[in-house]
Amino acid sequence: MIDLHTHSIFSDGELIPAELVRRAESFGYRAIAITDHMDSSNMDFIIPRTVRIAEELNRVQSVRVIPGAELTHVHPELIPEKIRYARQLGAEIVVVHGETLVEPVKEGTNRAAIDGEADILAHPGLITEEEVRLAAEKGIALEITARKGHSLANGHVARLAVKYNAPLVINTDAHSPDDLITRVFAEKVLLASGLDKEIIKDVFLNAEKLIKI
Residue 60 — very low, low, confident or very high, per pLDDT cuts 50/70/90? very high
Digit-coded pLDDT (tens) for 69-89: 999 999 999 999 999 999 999
Residues 130, 157: contact at Cβ < 8 Å? Answer: no
Determine the average pLDDT of the residues in 171-196.
Answer: 98
CATH number of the domain bearing residue 42: 3.20.20.140
pLDDT of residue 8: 98
Bridge partners, residue 120, by sequence: 95, 141
pLDDT tens for residues 136-152?
Answer: 999 999 999 999 999 99
Average pLDDT, the chain: 98
pTM value is 0.97
pLDDT for the residue 74: 98
**Residue 3 confidence (pLDDT) above 90:** yes
The parent domain of residue 152 ranges over: 2-211
The count of domains in the chain is: 1
Predicted pLDDT of residue 79: 98
> Is residue 169's pLDDT more than 90?
yes
Residue 213, pLDDT above cutoff 90: no
- Tell me how far apart the alpha carbons of residues 104 and 164 are, in angstroms, rounded to a whole number: 27
In this predicted structure, what is the pLDDT of residue 160? Answer: 98
pLDDT tens by residue, 91-100: 999 999 999 9
Tell whether the model's pLDDT for residue 130 goes beyond 90. Answer: yes
Q: Report the percent of the chain where pLDDT is more than 70.
A: 100
